[in-house]
Structures are given as C-alpha cells and as structure tokens.
Amino acid sequence: MIVRAMKTLEESDRTRVEGNIRRAYLGGWKSLSWIVGIIRSSAFSGENLEDILVQVEQESSLDEAKKLKMSELRTELKNKSLL
C-alpha cells in the first residue's frame, strides 16, 4: 500500500501564494492587481500574510526592481486592509 503525505489546505494555499509572488509577480509575468486577487482568494491576511512576505523576501535574491515591486505589493495590501 502506498501512503502519500497530504498537505493541508493551508499549506497548499501558502505554497500557491509564495510561488505566485516569486515566479509570476516578481518575475514580471503578472500584474499587481492579479497577485492581490490571488492573495485575496487565499485564507491569508494580517500576521500570516506578513510571514509569507518576509519569507519570500528572505529566500529570494531581490534586486532593486523586485524590492520596489514588494514595496508596492505591501502598500496595496495595506490599502485593501489585508495587512
């Protein structure tokens, strides 16, 4: 019998949000409004969302353009009362 470790819904959402921030948004493939929509569709806000943003910043090598995009994302999330 094969037993697979199953991720919880929260772990899956976290992986999806982190990956989309890193690859799609910071990579320049998707817009600010798109990533805000992805975040809104997840279960994350407040402190949990802040933890995700900090982790993305720490694990990614951010040049000045990516740092600016992260700053814009934080500002937009605060304006939408998600942070």
Residue ranges covered by each domain of the chain: 9-79
pLDDT at 9 over 90: no
* 35 token code pair: 């990533």
The secondary structure element, H or E, covering residue 38 is: helix 32-41
21-40 residue pLDDT tens: 999 999 999 999 999 999 99
Average model confidence (pLDDT) across the chain:
90
Q: H helices then E strands: how many in the chain?
A: 4, 0
